[in-house]
Structures are given as structure tokens and as C-alpha cells.
Amino acid sequence: MKDSFSFGTLYIISTPIGNLEDITLRALRILKEVNLIAAEDTRHTRKLLSHYNIHVPLTSYHQHTHKNKTNSLITFLKEGKNIALVSDCGTPGISDPGTFIIKEAITRKIKVIALPGPSALICALTISGLPTNGFLFLGFLPRKKGKIKKELNKAFLCEKTLIFYESCYRINKTLEILREEIGQAQLVLARELTKKFEEIIRGKIDEVIEKIKDRPLKGELVVLVNKSGDF
Ligand code: SAM
């Protein structure tokens, strides 16, 4: 039986959140060297790999199959093979599949190495102008109004910058809930980061609602709120 020294390594690789140039040299090297790349969406990842001329076998690892798929990937790692895990964008495990296999690998004494890189929440926080000395990331908010209110009120007890991911289709409704629950606070919408139509909208909640009321937002969005922070 193999001991853990002869097991392979699970690499957790951050990939671009829009701009294909946002990938590290180390990430490209490891993606070329591993035996298998496990991707949230193989078609999506294939575009990145062909851009960098990487030809390594790909397998899918997405939110609907990841529990079943984990066992076969763990077996592969135990045979001494190396796997790179990537998601559609940013850092695996951050509102993306990843945590389950990472936990399993740790339990089975398989080495897990993170290759740091883009994540939409850090990119947005960095340029938000809001306090960065402590923040609370909520991932995606729940869908139901009552649950959103409960989550926001609990989160605001910590008085740090609050960050969450939101769809452009739901943003107006969510901002109305924020206004109802918190009143006034500094708000930042970070849209289409690193892409052609990147846009940062800053202001008090009322001001931002006013700014976007006649122009439906498109694309991907990070929302940041701080009750005390001034710009
Ligand atoms: N794992 C990713 C990360 O590390 O940022 C997050 C994946 S999550 C499924 C996708 C959400 O991230 C989007 O709905 C959006 O809220 C946010 N996001 C991803 N790319 C973005 C971008 N370029 N600009 C703004 N928000 C983005």
C-alpha cells in the first residue's frame, strides 16, 4: 500500500475573472505539468487552455456531480498522479466547487497546494475605497426577501465592510432591501472587473439607486457596503 509521500498533489489554481492575461506564470506551468485538470465547466476552461497552448486531459468537476466525482479523483491522487482544480473564474472554493474535494484530500493526507490569483471579491475590495481592515464575505445572498433581511442584519452586527456576489437581474431588488434594512451606508457596485466594460459605481445607497434606476446593469457584479466608511 502506498504511503502519503507517494501520493500526488491537488493544486487549487485561480484563473482569470475576465481578462485572460490575469494568470500567473506558476499557474501556467502547473497546468502544463499535472496529469489531469478538473474543471467546473470543461468547455469554458478549454478556451483558457487553448489560449495558452496547454494540452492536458480535462475532466468535469461541477456543483451537481462533485460529491460522486471526488472519489475517483482521490483514487487518482492516491496513485501518485497530480490534479489541478480550476473553476470558471477566480478562485475555486470561493462561491464555486472546491471545498468538498479539498476537505477529502486533507482527510486522506493528500497534499493540497493553492496557487493564488484572481478572485472577484478581493479585486472589488481593493479598488472600492471602503475600509479593508476587516471585511465579511457572504458569497451569494439567499433568494427569499425574508432570508436576505435576516442575513444582512446579522452581518451588519460586525460593522466591517460587507461583500457579496449578486446577479445584475436581482440588484435593484437587493438594493431596495438594503435601503429598508440599513438606511444609509456607503455602497460600491463593482461590475465587469478586468473586462472591457469594467465600471465602479460608488455612493450612498440612495445615490447608487438613483444612478442605476434608468439603466439596467449587465454582466457580473460584486456589491460592497460599509455603514461607517467615507470615500
Ligand atoms: N470563484 C470566483 C471568485 O473567486 O471570485 C467567484 C465565482 S461565483 C460563481 C461568480 C460571481 O463572482 C459572479 O456572479 C459575480 O458576482 C462575481 N464575479 C465573477 N467575475 C466577476 C467580474 N469580472 N466582475 C465582477 N464580479 C465578478
The total number of structural domains in the chain stands at 2
Out of 115, 145, 166, a domain closes at 115
CATH of the domain at 162: 3.30.950.10
Domain boundary (84, 115, 146) is at 115
Q: Does residue 219 share a domain with residue 171? A: yes
- Given 115, 141, 175, which residue is the final one in a domain? 115
- Domain span including residue 164: 120-226
Residue 231 lies in a domain: no
Residues facing residue 10 across a β-bridge: 83, 112
Which of the two residues, 204 and 230, has the higher pLDDT score?
204
* Residues 154, 71 share a domain: no
Q: Return d(Cα 108, Cα 2) in angstroms, integer.
A: 12
pTM (2 d.p.): 0.95
Asked if 133 and 175 sit in the same domain, the reply is yes
Q: Are residues 48 and 105 in the same domain?
A: yes
Examine the domain organization and report whether 133 and 153 are in the same domain.
yes
Tens-place pLDDT, residues 149-194 = 999 999 999 889 999 999 999 999 999 999 999 888 999 999 999 9
DSSP letter for each residue of the chain: ---GGGS-EEEEE-B-SS-TT---HHHHHHHHHSSEEEESSHHHHHHHHHHTT----EEE--TTTHHHHHHHHHHHHHTT--EEEE-SSB-TTSSSTTHHHHHHHHHTT-EEEEE----HHHHHHHHH-S--SSEEEEEEPPSSHHHHHHHHHHHHTT-SEEEEEEETTTHHHHHHHHHHHH-S-EEEEEESTTSTT-EEEEEEHHHHHHHHTTS---SEEEEEEESS---
Taking the centre of ligand 1 as the mean of its atom positions, its distance from the CA of residue 220, in whole angstroms, is 6
Question: Which atom of ligand 1 is nearest the CA belonging to 14?
Answer: 4
Cα-to-centroid distance, 57 and ligand 1 (Å): 26
Q: Specify the range with the lowest mean pLDDT, choosing from 80-89, 140-149, 159-168, 221-230.
A: 221-230
Q: 33 with 108, same domain?
A: yes
- Residue 123 near ligand 1, beta carbon < 6 Å: no
Domain match, 44 and 110 both: yes
Tell me the pLDDT tens digit for each residue of 20-75.
999 999 999 999 999 999 999 999 999 999 999 999 999 999 877 777 899 999 99
Q: How far is the CA of 185 from the centre of ligand 1 (A)?
A: 23
**Residue 202 and residue 109 share a domain:** no
